[in-house]
Structure 1
Amino acid sequence: MKDINFIFLVLALIAEVIGTIGGFGSSVFFVPLGNFYFDFYSVLGLTAIFHLSSNLSKIFLFKKGLDKKLLINIGIPSVAFVIVGGVLSKLLNSSYLEIFLGVFLVGFSAFFLIKNKFTISPNRKNAIIGGSFSGFSAGLLGTGGAIRGLTMAAFNLEKSVFIATSAFIDFMIDFSRTFVYYQNGYIHEHDLKYVPFLFVIGLVGSFIGKKILVYIPQSKFRKLSLSFILLIGVVTIVQLVLR
């Protein structure tokens, strides 16, 4: 228990609960929050490990809702491009990556909150493109759930189908990038003390998120997800400014 930052663990739990409710995974919150406590590359390593447990939890809790067609069309290009993004992350300065992450989250969410009638056509081509960008962003910046969430929203999925399919794709992404991040040296021995805590948080946070999700109408689902993303994007930029 020595040298464990419990405030960080509480924030990780909140990120997991909100990520489950939003349907895009906890990394969109966990990565910028983790940057308050660790260097950017350590956060990438911890995120991959943390997500493995949280996505296994979601797959178990929402297992009846899996869309196998989307799993293939979005999942396969996601896995391919997360490896590309993970390799490139080692070649770029972490400060630039953090700035890009914050600007991307704010710009992405603000655009779709303002242009709330804008939709992506639900076809195979857009699913593959969305999966590719989602995987690349996950490997490079640590989070790609926002892009995947937008792509999947085009198919107007029921909440449990959305979350189960997204979690399964996310698990495939995390499993792949864990090896890349390990080769890059992002998984540090002194950070591994957090892994057991994050594993439990992944289970508990997913369970709490599922219970809360029952009370959220389908019509509010997309707007709520985008609002969460906008908030964390602003927090990321403020954090960089105050450094």
Structure 2
Amino acid sequence: MEYILIPIVALLASALTFFSGFGLGTLLLPAFALFFPVDVAIALTAIVHFSNNAFKFVLVKKHINWKIALQFGIPALLFSFLGAFLLDKITHANILSEYTLNGKVFQITLMKIIVALLLIFFALFELIPKLKNLQFPEKHLPLGGMLSGFFGGLSGHQGALRSAFLTKVGLSKEAFIATGVIIACMIDISRMSVYFANISKVKDALNLNLIIVATLSAFIGVYFGNKLVKKITIDTIQKIVAFMIIVFAIALGFGIV
């Protein structure tokens, strides 16, 4: 069953997140967790996620806006370590509520509520006409990187904040996708260096065949996403991002992700 469900999720998620810039890990981790212990599922997801971003980089690298990538990416990297450090200190200190649904326990935490509210705030910029044409000056990019990196280290949800900022700095659709990809690769390399110790501990439990199948499925999704991007406008991409941010924020606020 895992050889059917996980590749399908990987293919569809990678195609959709090619435009939004986030969501593959969010969708793929629960699929892996259905069949493997959580620590193994996290390792499997990290490997597929990194491989997928590396493949996207090869396809879109010529469109990267390096100035924006560095302005945003370097603060994101630095503050992701700060967020990860604080996570270790407050892992169980910020749980506001818990509830059970179909036998599974979900936790609502202060950090998830804060991130969810920030995401909805940014999504409204794409949905309210008076705010739609507003753009963030480049001088605010380091702040966006700090927020994205910090909450990425703290809760693992940095991609949505990254996309929310990048949609408002006047990038073309190709540059938006490519610049988001290189920033994601930077974050992935940083995270993989931290995850390596954990991956080595569970290496005997890793399913290499499933990793290959899921990665290839994600590559196929990226390939078709790259073909489709030529047929859509930046306005369509911004609407996709806004919709996914709101759905993601609601799920995050209720402790589902």
TM-score by length of 2: 0.76
Contact 1:98–1:141 (8 Å) recurs in 2: no
| Range that drifts further, 216-225 or 189-198 | 189-198
Distance in 1 between the 2:12 and 2:93 partners?
25
Aligned residue type for 1:199: T
Deviation at 1:12, TM superposition (A): 2.2
Aligned residue type for 2:45: T
- CA deviation map 1:108-138 (0-9, x unaligned): 44334444316452223x2111112212233
Partner of 2:117: 107
Deviation at 1:163, TM superposition (A): 1.0
Contact 1:137–1:143 (8 Å) recurs in 2: yes
Partner of 1:169: 183
| Range that drifts further, 161-170 or 15-24 | 15-24
Distance in 1 between the 2:137 and 2:201 partners?
37
Distance in 2 between the 1:238 and 1:38 partners?
24
Root-mean-square deviation (CA, aligned residues, Å) is 3.4
Unaligned stretches of 5+ residues in structure 1 = none
Unaligned stretches of 5+ residues in structure 2 = 96-105
Partner of 2:50: 52
Pair 1:147–1:22, CA change in 2 (3 A): same
Contact 2:6–2:214 (8 Å) recurs in 1: no
Pair 1:169–1:8, CA change in 2 (3 A): same
- CA deviation map 1:81-112 (0-9, x unaligned): 22333444455149959645864665344334
Contact 2:123–2:246 (8 Å) recurs in 1: no
Deviation at 1:162, TM superposition (A): 0.9
Deviation at 1:195, TM superposition (A): 2.5
TM-score by length of 1: 0.79
Partner of 2:240: 224
Deviation at 1:234, TM superposition (A): 4.0
Q: Percent identity?
A: 26
| Range that drifts further, 24-33 or 221-230 | 24-33
Deviation at 1:159, TM superposition (A): 1.0
Partner of 2:151: 137
Answering whether residue 80 of structure 2 is matched by residue 64 of structure 1, we say: no
Give the length in aligned residue pairs. Answer: 238
Distance in 1 between the 2:201 and 2:8 partners?
21
